[in-house]
Structure 1
Amino acid sequence: MSDQFKLRIFTEPQQGATYDDLLRVAKRAEETGYDAFFRSDHYLKMGSGTGEPGPTDAWVTLGGLARETTRLRLGTLMTAGTFRLPGPLAIAVAQVDQMSGGRVEFGLGTGWYEEEHTAYGIPFPPLKERFDRYAEQLEIITGLWDTPRGESFSYQGRYYELTDSPALPKPVQRPRPPVLVGGLGKKRTPELAARFADEFNLPFASLEAAAEQFERVAEACTRIGREPAEVVRSAALVLCVGRTDEEIARRADAIGREVGELRTNGLAGTPAEVVDKIGTWRERTGITRLYLQVLDLGDLDHLDLVASEIAPQL
């Protein structure tokens, strides 16, 4: 893969996948040259299907993959802020960073899927409170990681209070693992990205909406005196590539989607079509990383096709 432009694999295991399924995908991604393996952080399926055999925990999964891969970057799009307290989450992510030798990237969001919260007994505050908590979580987690060894970290917020934390363990990456922020919120999201994000990600947005939101993030950076180019731009799009129309249709059918819709909203078509669409995204938005949402985790040939026929052209 190009040093300038990165292709990353993004999975949705809540739809029905075991750890072994994810391990096979991650190992094939590493073997074929992808830059990273990311997964969602959800506890309940979405849409049709049974979701069997059931969800897997994001950070348990990444801890396992940390020991069974050697090169891949590993991360979440996005860990839900509602799922875990910020102190223990900082510990877990730092530990996985140690286990991987410094390959973790940390995506954090507010949490949005109410049904998974009610299904598993997780509190789900109103949106404003979730955002307020999210801002405190970003401040706490980065603060813990950034605290020099031998010093302590204290924090007094509306929702969280930390007193004389030793701020351990430290991640391998210093000062900390890269932090990803994302979403289409027009005001608070760009402001938080400007303060905390190393990368800003837009999942499943239109080209026009993405270009506008990246500009909002750049403006928010400028307002606080940060260079906008410091924030990596990335997007996530569903993948459905085939050598022939029949292969494209088969892959679309396997994930319950229509080819026409995927051509409009995702990365669908022949390798040549997809290379052209990626080129348009790069030109219009300035993205340097693209997360390929792979929904059929048994179709490893899909990964091979992109690695052999699309990646070399980027």
Structure 2
Amino acid sequence: MDLRIFVEPQQGATYGDQLALAQRAEQLGFSGFFRSDHYLRMGAGDPLPGPTDAWTTLAGLARETSTIRLGTLVSSATFRLPGVLAIQVAQVDEMSGGRVELGLGAGWFAEEHAAYGIPFPDKRFGLLTEQLEIVTGLWATPVGETFSHSGEHYQLTDSPALPKPVQSPLPVVVGGNGPRRTPRLAARFAAEYNQSFPEKAAVAAQRDRVRAACEEVGRDPDELVYSAAFVACVGRDDAEVARRAAVIGRDPEELRRNGLAGTPQEVLDGLAALREQGITRVYLQCLDLGDLEHLDLVASEVMAHLPASA
């Protein structure tokens, strides 16, 4: 089982907070550091310090880390024009030496769009589909050739399709729990399909929908990585679990049911159950970015005890 760290900086984190956590995650051997792409805090609470832009942040982290993979889970198709996004991601990939992954979704948080003057159309799935077509098409166009696209939402004419990412292909993550359209997009475009905070009992069924979508388009379903994201709240004993849950405003028992929470052994058992449902990568959502000791505990008492064959 591959473990990655996933953060939500819009809830209250500076670039320095993210850098400290990313560097600790790298030192401890987590394979990835991914962040959300949001511009507004969700729920009540102190709005300071305000949002940080995902790809600006990742560009900085690319230069201040050396081995850990970096990316979004997930960027919103409403935030950037696809040609600009392709340039941004390719540039950050070069800055990182080829360690970047692009998670891309349709967007859903209407309030952040209103707060920062970003258009928020009622129907966004077509935007996402065309963005995936354009971004991957630009990157795949051979050097010296041009790329054009004539769609409902975007038109590109004779683009030089530059710059290219270091990675070829650069991994694209398609996330979401929809039963029909999202699996089809994953089958067409993704290196990884991610279920974000799914009902645990539904994980295998959704994975099977994606596998079926791959077969429909003639793709080997085993080419994809199947991943899931869950809130992490780990403690050496019940008191430590309760303390960490209180800091993030959650109930320990609710986190045990819906996240990966409890003692290290409880979390190991939860990971084993996910592995049985075909999940091979898990994003641990760490909501308290200042709690570096949380990462230390997960690394020493959970990650270090995962079976080598998993």
Question: Which TM-score tier does this pair reach, normalised by the shorter chain?
Answer: over 0.9
TM-score, structure 2 length as denominator?
0.98
> Aligned pair 1:241/2:234, yes or no?
yes
Shift of 1:313: 1.5
> Aligned pair 1:199/2:192, yes or no?
yes
Shift of 1:210: 1.8
- The correspondence for 1:48, drawn from 44, 59, 68, is 44
> Aligned pair 1:93/2:85, yes or no?
no
Give the Cα–Cα distance (whole angstroms) in 2 for the partners of residues 48 and 68 of structure 1. 32
> What are the superposed Cα offsets for residues 237-260 of structure 1, whole Å, 9 maximum, x if unpaired?
001000011110000000000001
Give the Cα–Cα distance (whole angstroms) in 2 for the partners of residues 105 and 11 of structure 1. 15
Shift of 1:100: 0.1
- Give the letter for the 2:134 counterpart: I
Shift of 1:29: 0.3
SS of alignment partner, residue 163 of structure 1: strand
Give the Cα–Cα distance (whole angstroms) in 2 for the partners of residues 148 and 184 of structure 1. 34
> What are the superposed Cα offsets for residues 141-200 of structure 1, whole Å, 9 maximum, x if unpaired?
0000000111110111011000000000000001x2100001111111111111001000
Shift of 1:48: 2.4
Structure 2 match to 1:252? 245
Give the Cα–Cα distance (whole angstroms) in 2 for the partners of residues 38 and 182 of structure 1. 13
Structure 2 match to 1:304? 296
> Aligned pair 1:165/2:159, yes or no?
yes
Give the Cα–Cα distance (whole angstroms) in 2 for the partners of residues 192 and 302 of structure 1. 35
Shift of 1:208: 2.0
Give the Cα–Cα distance (whole angstroms) in 2 for the partners of residues 49 and 59 of structure 1. 25
- The correspondence for 1:141, drawn from 135, 140, 153, is 135
SS of alignment partner, residue 44 of structure 1: coil
- The correspondence for 1:231, drawn from 210, 224, 231, is 224
Give the Cα–Cα distance (whole angstroms) in 2 for the partners of residues 185 and 85 of structure 1. 24
SS of alignment partner, residue 298 of structure 1: coil
> Aligned pair 1:279/2:275, yes or no?
no
> What are the superposed Cα offsets for residues 185-241 of structure 1, whole Å, 9 maximum, x if unpaired?
111111111100100000110122221111111000001100001111000000100
Structure 2 match to 1:313? 305
Q: Is the 8 A contact 2:104 2:172 kept in 1?
A: yes
> What are the superposed Cα offsets for residues 60-100 of structure 1, whole Å, 9 maximum, x if unpaired?
00000000000000000000000000000000000000000
> What are the superposed Cα offsets for residues 102-148 of structure 1, whole Å, 9 maximum, x if unpaired?
0000000000001100111100001xx31011100000000000001
- The correspondence for 2:103, drawn from 103, 107, 117, is 107
SS of alignment partner, residue 201 of structure 1: strand
Give the Cα–Cα distance (whole angstroms) in 2 for the partners of residues 19 and 118 of structure 1. 24
Segments ≥4 residues shifted beyond 6 Å:
none
Give the Cα–Cα distance (whole angstroms) in 2 for the partners of residues 133 and 299 of structure 1. 37
> Aligned pair 1:84/2:106, yes or no?
no
Give the Cα–Cα distance (whole angstroms) in 2 for the partners of residues 154 and 50 of structure 1. 45
Give the Cα–Cα distance (whole angstroms) in 1 for the partners of residues 51 and 110 of structure 2. 16
> What are the superposed Cα offsets for residues 277-303 of structure 1, whole Å, 9 maximum, x if unpaired?
10011102x111100000001100000
The sequence identity of aligned pairs, in percent, is 66
TM-score, structure 1 length as denominator?
0.96
SS of alignment partner, residue 88 of structure 1: helix
Q: Is the 8 A contact 2:3 2:283 kept in 1?
A: yes
Structure 1 match to 2:55? 59
- Give the letter for the 1:75 counterpart: G
CA RMSD of aligned residues (A): 0.7
SS of alignment partner, residue 271 of structure 2: helix
Give the Cα–Cα distance (whole angstroms) in 1 for the partners of residues 57 and 47 of structure 2. 17
Give the Cα–Cα distance (whole angstroms) in 2 for the partners of residues 108 and 50 of structure 1. 28
Unmatched segments (≥5 aa) in structure 2: none
Question: What is the count of residue pairs matched by the alignment?
Answer: 306
SS of alignment partner, residue 222 of structure 1: helix
- Give the letter for the 1:294 counterpart: C
Shift of 1:272: 0.6
- Give the letter for the 2:141 counterpart: T
Shift of 1:49: 1.0
Q: Is the 8 A contact 2:200 2:258 kept in 1?
A: no
